[in-house]
Amino acid sequence: MTACGTGEGFGAVTWWGFSPAMDFQEKGLTASMKALSSKEDNVSELNILVVGAGDSRHLLTTIARAHRWPRRKINFKERDQLEAIFKFWRNPDPKVFQISRMWDLRNRQYLGNRYDSKQGAYDWDLHMKLYDRGARVINNRQYYQWREKGLAFEVREGLYDVSNKSLASGLLLNYKGEKVPSRGYWGDIVTSPYIAFGIETEEQSLLKTANGVHIKTAQDISQYNITALLHELVAKERYALLQPTEQATLSEITEEEEEGETENDSSNKKDESTHTSQQPGIVLEAGPVKQNNEMDNSGSGGGSCTAENDYLPLPDVKIHFLPVSCVTELCKKSIYNNRFNVIYFSCSMVHQLTPELEQISAPQATLIVELTKFMLDLRIELIAKFSSRVTEMAREAGFVPFGNVDDEKDSFARFELKNDP
C-alpha cells in the first residue's frame, strides 16, 4: 500500500511544474519594479533568477507579455539540469523507449495493492484532491486517460502511438546493493501537466459552467493559453478569441428552406467568391497552400524572421543556464552582488533558499516561492508545515512576507527584501 505523503507519484525528474504559469513582471512587487537600475541607453534592466521551475512556462509567459509593461531588458538566470540525448531521440527503434510498459510499471509500483481498483484511485485524486484545491476545470475523462496511459493532450484526430522520447531520462536505481543506471520515465504520474497552462486563463469565457459543469476542459484552456502567448510574442498585442456567429433558430432555418424550394436552380449556383464573402472571419483562397516563412517586422520590439534567420529575435531578453550549485556559486562572485530583482524557487528547490541569497538580491527584491498545493501525495498538514518552513527560510535570507498566504488556496508565496533600519 502506497503511503500518502511519500511523494512517489511525482517521480524523480520534473518535466512540468506544479503551479500555473505566471508573468514575473506582474507578480513582482511594485517596489521591486521601481528600484530597477538603468543602463546607458536609459532602459531599465530586470534581472530574474529562476531556480528549478521544471519547465519554461514562467519564462514564456513573462517574455510574451513583456510588451504590456514599460520597456525593460530582461535577463534570466535559469538553474536546471539539461539532459539532451539527441542520438537517443533520433533512434527510430520503438523498443528503445517503451513508454506504455514503463508507465504501467510506475503505476503498479505507486498504487501497490490498489492497482486492481485503480479507477477508484484516479477518481479519488481528481475529486477529493485536485477539485478541492481549485482545479475543477480538469475533465475527468481526460484525467483518467492520462493516469492510465500518460496521454494528456489530443489536439488532433489521429493515432498517438509514438513514444515521446524527450520524456526519457536516466536514474540510478538500487539493484542487489549496487547503483545501476536505468533509462525510463521518472516524472509525475499523479498531478498531471494540466496545472501549468490549463486551470487559469485571461479569457473568462473558457471558464464558464453549465449546470455546475465546466463547458471547456483543461486541454482547451491549455491550447488557448499557448496560442495566445505565441501570438502575443510575435504580434506584440493581446490575443482575442474569435466569438462564434449567432446560430439561426429552427423557424429561420425552415423559412430559408421554403424560400430555397421556390428559387430557380441557377440561383443556387453562386460564385464561390461571393459565397465566401458572406462568411465573416473566414478567408479561402484557391490553389495550393503556401507557408510564409517571413514575418512582418513592423511590430515594435519585434524584428523579422526570414528563411535564413528562422527564429524570432528577442533583443531585450537574455537567458543564461546555470549549474546545480548556482546560488552558492553566485554569492562568491562580486558581479552578482545586489543583482536580481525577482527570484523564483520551485517547491523542490527550496533547500537552496539560504541566507546567502540576500547577498545577490537587489534592493527591494521580490522573492516568489512555489508552494505544494498541487502535490497530491502531501496531506493538508504537511502543506501547511511546508508553507511555514518557507516563511522561516525567507526571513533568514532577509525577506518578509508580502500579504497573507492561504495554504489551501495559494500556489505561490511572495516576499520582499526588507530595508535596512
For residue range 25-51, what is the model confidence (pLDDT) as tens digits?
Answer: 999 988 888 888 766 677 889 999 999
- For residues 251-279, give the mean pLDDT: 45
- Give residue 182's pLDDT band: very low, low, confident or very high (50, 70, 90): confident
Does residue 78 surpass a pLDDT of 80? no
Does residue 232 surpass a pLDDT of 50? yes
Q: The C-alpha cell of 247 is what?
A: 446560430
Q: Average pLDDT of the chain?
A: 82
- For residues 404-421, give the mean pLDDT: 87
- Give residue 137's pLDDT band: very low, low, confident or very high (50, 70, 90): very high
Instruction: Say what the pLDDT of residue 85 is.
Output: 63
Per-domain residue ranges of the chain: 8-83+314-417
Angle 58-64-66 (CA atoms, 0-180°, nearest 5)?
A: 95
Instruction: Say what the pLDDT of residue 195 is.
Output: 96
Instruction: Say what the pLDDT of residue 210 is.
Output: 96
- Amino acid 361 reads S
Asked whether the whole model's pTM tops 0.95, one would answer no
Range from 156-165, 301-310, 362-371 carrying the lowest mean pLDDT: 301-310
Instruction: Say what the pLDDT of residue 297 is.
Output: 43
Instruction: Classify domain 8-83+314-417 by CATH number.
Output: 3.40.50.150
- Give residue 274's pLDDT band: very low, low, confident or very high (50, 70, 90): very low
Instruction: Say what the pLDDT of residue 192 is.
Output: 96
Does residue 217 surpass a pLDDT of 90? yes
Does residue 167 surpass a pLDDT of 80? yes
